[in-house]
């Protein structure tokens, strides 16, 4: 056994399996073989004038550059449909107003979502001064106004108060549950929603510029659970000018940055080319283990891998036993096998991965 750097690699056999699986996917889509008249699938195909698409085992991450106006749930549904994937989920909601990185996990990548959600996030955003709104962004109703406009020096002097570990009251229109109901549902029904302050961590908050007296541009790097809308609201209140978010873009989520993002139009074009046999769906995917960059990788033998795959612990013996402890991701022959805990002289599997199906190609960013 040996401990390797956190970033894993997809083995050549894995890529071969992916290519074979993808050929099978689109061989069916290209088939014009008629179905029997009594087959309900044939009736549905005739009604829609489209071939029936079976769901597939597809594993990896798509970092969508989410467009403004689309909800995170809608984005997941679109990507799931494009890939015909059996399972999909996202790592961190983006409001419809916001654009930028929305990591979408397909297949076995859904098991690694918590590692992405726990990572740092970076945002660029614009605050519009002079109005506070009930949603803390442009979609809400104006509830307070002011003729005061802050000078850049006053804004910068205030930022240290919002850096580090702070207490933040989430927006009334948020997904936080209050007695089993979402806060935004209660707010839309006209109920007064009182949310308790929560500790959040702002690692960095910078004023980038002030293009006019009504707007200021910021960049923030923050931890899990931070609401940028609440930052705009609270800064505006202290300055006495009030404010709300007028533009918001997420540029980093955990290990994923802007270089990993793919616009929806580009993703649709790639999927259409792949359906025509001119490209590969795997080129749009990042490997499942990309989400695990912050934890060590542990390579094991095939014999130990077989035990771990069955959910059995593996004893660590001899001078080759790793010195690390805690959470690791386990690989065999360069392929992701499991998430495990190392301690007390053994490896204990927690989540085992089954990567049968389509997985990421190497060098996705060069091929897209």
Which residues are the active-site residues? Answer: 95
SS3 of the chain: the string is CEEECCCCCCCHHHHHHHHHHHHHHHHHHHCCCCCCCCCHHHHHHHHHCCCCCCCECECEEEEEEECCCCCHHHHHHHHHHHHCECCEEECCCCCCCCEEEEEEEEHHHHHHHHHHHCCCEEEEEEEEECEEECCCECCCCEEEECCCCCCHHHHHHHHHHHCEEEEECCCCCCCCEECCEEHHHHHHCCCCCCCCCEEEEEEEEEEEEEEECCEEEEEEEECCCCCHHHHHHHHHHHHCCCEEEEEEEEEEECCECHHHEEEHHHHHHHHHHHHCCCCCHHHHCECHHHHHCCCCEEECCHHHHHHHHCCCCEECCCCCCCCCCEEEEEEECCEEEEEEEEECCEEEEEEECCCCCECCCCCHHHHC
């Amino acid at each position: 056994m040996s401990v390797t750097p956190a970033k894993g690699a997809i083995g050549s056999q894995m890529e071969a399996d992916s290519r074979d699986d993808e050929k099978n996917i689109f061989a069916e889509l290209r088939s014009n073989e008629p179905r029997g008249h009594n087959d309900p699938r044939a009736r549905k195909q005739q009604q829609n004038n489209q071939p029936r698409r079976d769901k597939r085992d597809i594993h990896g991450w798509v970092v969508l550059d989410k467009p403004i106006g689309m909800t995170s749930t809608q984005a997941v549904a679109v990507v799931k449909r494009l890939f015909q994937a059996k399972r999909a989920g996202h790592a961190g909601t983006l409001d419809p107003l916001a654009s930028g990185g929305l990591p979408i996990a397909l297949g076995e990548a859904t098991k690694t979502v918590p590692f992405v959600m726990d990572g740092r996030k970076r945002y660029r955003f614009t605050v519009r001064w002079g109005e506070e709104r009930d949603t803390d962004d442009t979609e809400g109703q104006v509830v307070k106004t002011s003729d005061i406009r802050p000078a850049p020096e006053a804004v910068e002097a205030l930022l240290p108060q919002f850096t580090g570990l702070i207490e933040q009251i989430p927006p009334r229109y948020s997904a936080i549950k209050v007695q089993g109901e979402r806060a935004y549902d209660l707010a839309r029904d006209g109920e007064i929603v009182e949310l308790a302050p929560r500790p959040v961590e702002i690692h960095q908050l910078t004023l980038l510029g002030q293009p006019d007296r009504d707007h200021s541009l910021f960049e923030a790097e923050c931890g899990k659970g931070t609401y940028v809308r609440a930052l705009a609201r609270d800064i505006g209140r202290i300055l006495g000018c009030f404010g709300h978010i007028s533009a918001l873009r997420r540029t980093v989520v955990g290990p994923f940055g802007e270089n990993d993002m793919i616009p929806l139009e580009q993703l649709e074009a790639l999927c259409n080319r792949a359906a025509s046999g001119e490209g590969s769906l795997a080129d749009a995917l990042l490997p499942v283990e990309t989400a695990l960059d912050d934890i060590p990788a542990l390579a094991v033998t095939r014999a130990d891998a077989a035990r771990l795959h069955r959910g059995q612990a593996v004893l660590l013996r001899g001078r080759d036993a790793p010195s690390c402890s805690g959470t690791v991701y386990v690989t065999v022959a360069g392929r992701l096998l499991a998430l495990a805990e190392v301690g007390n002289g053994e490896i204990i599997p927690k989540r085992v991965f089954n990567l049968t199906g389509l997985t990421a190609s190497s060098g996705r960013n060069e091929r897209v």
